[in-house]
Structure 1
């Protein structure tokens, strides 16, 4: 079994086992948003869909008490390994979003880089590499679930930071969170070139109106910030 190391200065080097999402531009965008939150040091922070655990370890470096969750066995193993290599305490649990936690457990912050890539398949895959990024026709299979879980997971004054693609309707995310009683906004944006997955999927994206025919092959990433008041 081979592993890869992703050298991202802000996040350090993250080891990733095959099939585990390696830190990329979206991870860096979310890390920057986490860094700017003054409440991070000493906070109870939950990283949902942790993948490699790079963001969980980064938050621990900033002084947070971190719990990380992922449904994938290899992701859990990878996150634990990266926490060990970084000499940071991160509690990593395996489960489907909040199912791995006690029902009354709450946090000061919730961060998430969930699968969000629109896919020709109606439902996300249950196994394989694409499980790390595919999220149904509209890319919202996990984004919506993170939104819905946030009010019960956050303490009063708690903050959600979630990154996803503009292809996955960020304004819908803001409206959904607002309907759940959170004060939500798009706090960060970044434009990056299409990666291999979106490049291969470009004809389908255009056919379904997700990408303009005249648009360059670039993707906008956004961070959604929502506060429980």
Structure 2
């Protein structure tokens, strides 16, 4: 007799992403994804543009870019994320190319008009990034910048002249450092939007540690999300 392991699939409906399916451990669209999707619309992402979605997770932002008319490539290092994004693109009948790889290393010879990313950015007690499990979708080292810094460093080489980076991360992960790093890399950069939201379950679970380290002030009950906008002149 053969035994088959049942893998549950979560289904959720987003007002901007539509129906999204995801395997366990894959990050689904939340407030940060919605904030970035709105920024894509304001910045005119659309027809005729080549868009790269780095750390695509369920593929929600990649699908949003495709619906806006862009030609989209999506990347994630997680096998389950890649499978989820491919499934969602197929179900939505959108021509999104989904690749598995470590950030931009999987597209070394390509350039894009727009690079969007909602990377892992939550500070964690360990500098070692998880290699599996749900924490892989949000743990980002002790300062929350393990992936953010690498994307900042790689973005100039992946953007065409006039190209744009749109990235979302927490205000607890050093927005000013992100802007400075992008400027030093040769891009013009700024924080284009700030939105405060209540702490989610991951942040609530880490509040004692985050307050002990001085990252979150005592009594604070909200997290600021920021959109980083950078352009290659």
Give the TM-score of the pair, scaled to structure 2: 0.95
Please name the residue that 2:84 is paired with: 78
Aligned length: 227
Structure 1 gaps, min length 5 = none
Q: Secondary structure at the match of 2:120?
A: coil
Q: Secondary structure at the match of 2:216?
A: coil
- Measured in 2, the distance between the counterparts of 1:206 and 1:197 equals 14
2:70 equivalent to 1:59: no
Please name the residue that 1:114 is paired with: 119
Please name the residue that 1:213 is paired with: 218
- Work out which of the residue numbers 193, 203, 209 in structure 2 matches 1:188: 193
Please name the residue that 1:96 is paired with: 102
- Measured in 1, the distance between the counterparts of 2:33 and 2:55 equals 12
- Measured in 2, the distance between the counterparts of 1:91 and 1:202 equals 38
From the CA coordinates, give the structure whose radius of gyration is larger.
2
Q: Which moved more, 1:184-193 or 1:165-174?
A: 184-193
- Work out which of the residue numbers 129, 137, 140 in structure 2 matches 1:135: 140
- Once the two structures are superposed, the pairs formed by residues 151-162 of structure 1 within 5 Å of their partners are 151-162=156-167
Q: Deviations over 1:162-188 (max 9, x none)?
A: 000001010100000000010001111
Q: Which moved more, 1:188-197 or 1:172-181?
A: 188-197
Structure 2 gaps, min length 5 = 1-6
- Measured in 2, the distance between the counterparts of 1:113 and 1:40 equals 19
Please name the residue that 1:201 is paired with: 206
- Once the two structures are superposed, the pairs formed by residues 3-82 of structure 1 within 5 Å of their partners are 3-82=9-88
Deviation at 1:16, TM superposition (A): 0.9
- Measured in 2, the distance between the counterparts of 1:38 and 1:25 equals 20
Once superposed, which parts of structure 1, at least 4 consecutive aligned residues long, lie more than 3 Å away? none
